[in-house]
Amino acid sequence: MDLDIRRVGVTKDLLGESPCWDSRSGAVCWIDSLAGTLHRHWPASGVSETHDLPAPVGSIALCESGAVVAALKNSFGRYDFGSRQLEILARLDVDHPGVRLNDGKCDPWGNFLAGTMHIHRQPGDALLGGLYRLRPDRTVEKLAGDIAFTNGPCFSLDGRTLYVADSVARTIWAYNYAPDGPLAGKRVFAQTETFASGPDGATVDAEGFLWSVLVRIAKLARFAPDGSLDRLVDLPATYPTSLCFGGERLETAYVTSISKSTQLAGKRAEDGGLFAVNGLPAPGVTPHRYMDA
């Protein structure tokens, strides 16, 4: 099947990120991290709506209740679409101007994992922040403290392997994962230095292959479960950022992009848009939800 890539709607995000598919309502949700905009779009009808969150927003995930959980600068929040109200669930143990929460994803047991990025760090400065797990009871656990720029957390099909990228190190790590225990068995899953790009957002498809966005070369990379490269897919945005699978059969990859972030500026008129990619070799899987209800 040939690839079909089309722009969805007319939104133009500064830093589009964290797309997730709501299979219950048939909507794709994503954020503009820098503007603090939460988008929700129904592809079947073309209807869209926007919501405001306090910027910067690192990532979002669906909740069991129908709300979304959000990784804010140094806290976790729950946003209710109906009331348009944001509730702070928990705060991090670090408050520093160069540290903020970034990418996140839910595990199969209803926890939300999100990690930080530590920017403007000088030689000799301690690495602050880390990878955190927000439990349904709103307690927060720090799982790792050695990731400089967290991106692309996602899980193997059985949930027992956690993949997390450090974009600065241009490495995707794999860990043994248990929902009630520490991370173990850290190992290199894939390295992207040869592609001249750090890995950004990621997800796993129904065959257990990992898809990672290579932001600086405008490609999707598909890695086999053993970490070997399966294929590269060209994208029409200068700087794509993240992806999720959606649609009735989870056969469409929705990809976010940058028009102007703090470091990158797009060169094309469609930059900052949301794109739908069809014709990929396997569908995705239904995303896990944060157990807030």
Q: How far, CA to CA in Å, does 90 sit from each of 30, 34, 134, 221?
A: 22, 21, 8, 34
Q: Report domain extents, the chain.
A: 4-278
For the stretch 197-223, pLDDT in tens is 999 999 999 999 999 999 999 999 999
Q: How far, CA to CA in Å, does 242 sit from each of 17, 82, 90, 95?
A: 6, 26, 25, 26
Cβ atoms of residues 1 and 279 within 8 Å = yes
Class of domain 4-278: mainly beta
Mean of pLDDT values over 179-183 = 97
Query: Is 4 annotated in the active site?
Result: no
Q: Does residue 145 carry a pLDDT above 70?
A: yes
Q: Report the first-to-last Cα separation within the chain, whole angstroms.
A: 41
Q: Does residue 108 carry a pLDDT above 90?
A: yes
Entry pTM: 0.97
For the stretch 235-248, pLDDT in tens is 999 999 999 999 99
Mean of pLDDT values over 243-262 = 97
For the stretch 10-48, pLDDT in tens is 999 999 999 999 999 999 999 999 999 999 999 999 999
Q: One of 22, 32, 103, 200 is an active-site residue; which one?
A: 200
For residues 92-126, one letter each, b for 16 or more C-beta atoms within 10 angstroms of the residue's C-beta and e for the rest, the string is bebeeeebbbbbbbbbeebbbbbbbbbeebeeeee
- Residue 34's contacts (CB-CB under 8 Å, 6 or more residues apart) are 14, 15, 55, 56, 261, 262
Helix (H/G/I), strand (E/B), else coil: 251: coil
